[in-house]
Amino acid sequence: MAQETAGKAGETWDETIVRVLKANDVRLITYVPDKVLAPLIKRLHADDYFTVICPAREEEAIGIVTGAYMGGLRGIVLMQTSGFATLPNALASLTVPYQIPMLMLISERGTLGDFQLGQVIVCRTMRPILESLNIEHYAIERQDDVEFITDRMIKQAFATQAAAAMILSPLLTSRGNKKNGG
């Protein structure tokens, strides 16, 4: 297991995340699509290890992952910044009071060159919401940090029955892209 979780040269961020999810027995994937997350979503769909669900709304995904956790199956919600902005009620009235280790992987839109005005404004709400709900969050900016941050945050979430928001910064996902806006 230690070897399995050791860093691997030449991996892309999405490959690393797939490996970390498996190492932590996170089998249920729920997502509402995002262009930045697309390569990860494609990889998860192609892998029989995972059950992958794309519900209509992020709130629904929170409900599904909550039920699955209580039933003994670990899951995660993948979303973009605007999707996170639909979640405060579910997080404040379900995730936090019921102490659910809700794993969230959020692609950060609306910063560092996004062309979508709506994304830019909604992006400003994400960290204040996470802070006010006292939810652990961390932005991943470099490939070298992907494994350490995701693996540690997932383990901490389950060990402490608390949510974890893993934010994928454009510094990680869009560096080298010629086009702005992920």
Partner 1 sequence: MQTHALSSAGRDAVKIMNRSDLTRRLVAKLKHEEAVIGGIGHTHFDLWASGQRPQNFYMLGSMGLAAPIALGVALAQPARQVFALEGDGSLLMQLGTLGTIAQLGPKNLAIIVWDNGAYQITGAQPTLTSTGVDLVAVARGAGLAQSVWATDEAHFEALVDQALKGAGPLFICARTDKQPPAGVTERDAAKIRTRFMEGLKVSTRGNQQTYDRAA
Task: Supply the minimum distance, in Å, between the C-beta of residue 138 and partner 1.
Answer: 18
Q: Tell me the C-alpha distance between 10 and 90, whole Å.
A: 38
The contact set with partner 1 (CB under 8 A) reads 1, 5, 23-25, 28, 51, 53, 55-57, 59-75, 89-90, 92-94, 97-101, 151, 155, 158-159, 161
Q: Tell me the C-alpha distance between 76 and 26, whole Å.
A: 7
Q: Residue 23 or residue 120: which is nearer to partner 1 going by CB?
A: 23
Task: Supply the minimum distance, in Å, between the C-beta of residue 61 and partner 1.
Answer: 8
What six digits make up the tokens of 33? 């699509």
Q: Residue 66 or residue 174: which is nearer to partner 1 going by CB?
A: 66
Q: Residue 156 or residue 177: which is nearer to partner 1 going by CB?
A: 156
What six digits make up the tokens of 96? 């936090």
Strand segments, DSSP code E, in the chain are 26-31, 51-53, 74-80, 103-107, 136-140, 164-168
Task: Supply the minimum distance, in Å, between the C-beta of residue 173 and partner 1.
Answer: 25
